[in-house]
């Protein structure tokens, strides 16, 4: 595509669970609550479907930030999925921190189907944070980079 911005536009991957956060994102949309186009959403059945591998892969492929959203603790459609997700992400994020990936590049947020405003706010904040952190260079596999 010819659309090329010289200004840094981060690549942000958002994993959203089907029942709460994806619906929250839909509500943000139908309420016309603006957030940056840098955020691209991947729908997963539950936050517990998010394999830490997916997040590492995103960084490897050049993502600058990854956010995972699920139902509020206690409200998981599958009862316990978000608890597993929370533990896995805690572990993964501390490991990423250890290897030098800034803490702010990853985030977990609980967004219910009724929280369109929260979804939009979260994405605005997160995009701003990634913008201030700049390009992810630590984990990107340069062989994966196009151009």
Partner 1 sequence: MQRIGVFVCHCGSNIAATVDVKKVVEMAKLEPGVVHAEDYQYMCSEAGQAKIDAAIKEKGLTGMVVCSCSPRMHETTFRKAAERAGLNPYMVEIANIREHCSWIHKDMEEATKKAVILMRAAVAKVNLNAPLQPGESRVTKRALVIGGGIAGIQTAIDIADAGYEVDIVEKEPSIGGRMSQIDKTFPTLDCSACILTPKMVEASAHEKITLYTYSEVEKVSGFVGDFTVDIRKKARSVDMDKCTGCGVCQEKCPSKKTPSEFNRGLSNRSAIYTPFAQAIPNVPVIDREHCIKFKTGKCGVCSKVCQAGAIDYDQKDEIITQKYGAIVVATGFDMIKLDKYDEYAYNQSPDVITSLELERIMNAAGPTKGHLERMSDHKAPKKMVFVQCVGSRCSDERGKSYCSKICCMYTAKHAMLIRDKYPDVDVTVFYIDVRTPGKNFDEFYRRAVEEYGVHYIKGQVGKVVPQENGQLLVQASDLLDNKQILMEADMVVLAAAIEPNPDVRKIATMLTASIDTNNFLTEAHAKLRPVESPTAGIFLSGVCQGPKDIPETVSQAGAAAVKAIGLLAKDKLMTNPCTAKPDELLCNGCSTCANVCPYGAISYIDKEVNDHGIREVRRIAQVNSALCQGCGACTVACPSGSMDLQGFSNRQILAEVDAICR
Interface contacts to partner 1, rule CB under 8 A: 1, 3, 11, 13, 18-20, 22-23, 25-26, 28-30, 32-35, 37, 40-46, 48-54, 57-58, 61-63, 71, 74-81, 84, 88, 112-115, 120, 144, 146
Which CB sits closer to partner 1, 78 or 131? 78
Sequence length of the chain is: 147
Give the DSSP letter string of 14-56. EEEETTTHHHHHHHHHHTT----TTEEEEEESSGGG--HHHHH
Tell me which residue of 69, 38, 4, 37 sits closest to 135, measured CA to CA: 38
Tell me the two tokens of residue 138: 């630590």
Shortest separation between residue 111's beta carbon and partner 1, angstroms: 11
Q: Taking every pair of C-alpha atoms in the chain, what is the biggest distance, in angstroms? A: 46
Shortest separation between residue 121's beta carbon and partner 1, angstroms: 13
Which CB sits closer to partner 1, 75 or 102? 75
Which CB sits closer to partner 1, 52 or 102? 52
Shortest separation between residue 80's beta carbon and partner 1, angstroms: 5
d(CA 100, CA 84): 24
Which CB sits closer to partner 1, 116 or 129? 116
């Amino acid at each position: 595509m010819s659309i090329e911005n010289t200004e840094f536009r981060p690549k942000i991957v958002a994993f959203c669970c089907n029942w709460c956060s994806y619906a929250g994102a839909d509500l943000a949309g139908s309420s016309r609550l603006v957030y940056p186009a840098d955020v691209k959403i991947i729908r997963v059945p539950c936050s517990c479907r998010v394999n830490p591998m997916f997040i590492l892969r995103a960084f490897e492929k050049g993502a600058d930030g990854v956010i995972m959203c699920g139902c509020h603790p206690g409200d998981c459609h599958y009862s316990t999925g978000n608890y597993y997700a929370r533990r896995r992400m805690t572990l993964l994020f501390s490991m990423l921190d250890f290897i030098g990936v800034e803490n702010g590049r990853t985030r977990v947020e609980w967004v219910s189907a009724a929280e369109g405003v929260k979804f939009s706010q979260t994405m605005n904040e997160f995009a701003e944070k990634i913008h201030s952190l700049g390009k992810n260079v630590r984990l990107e596999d340069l062989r994966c980079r196009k151009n």
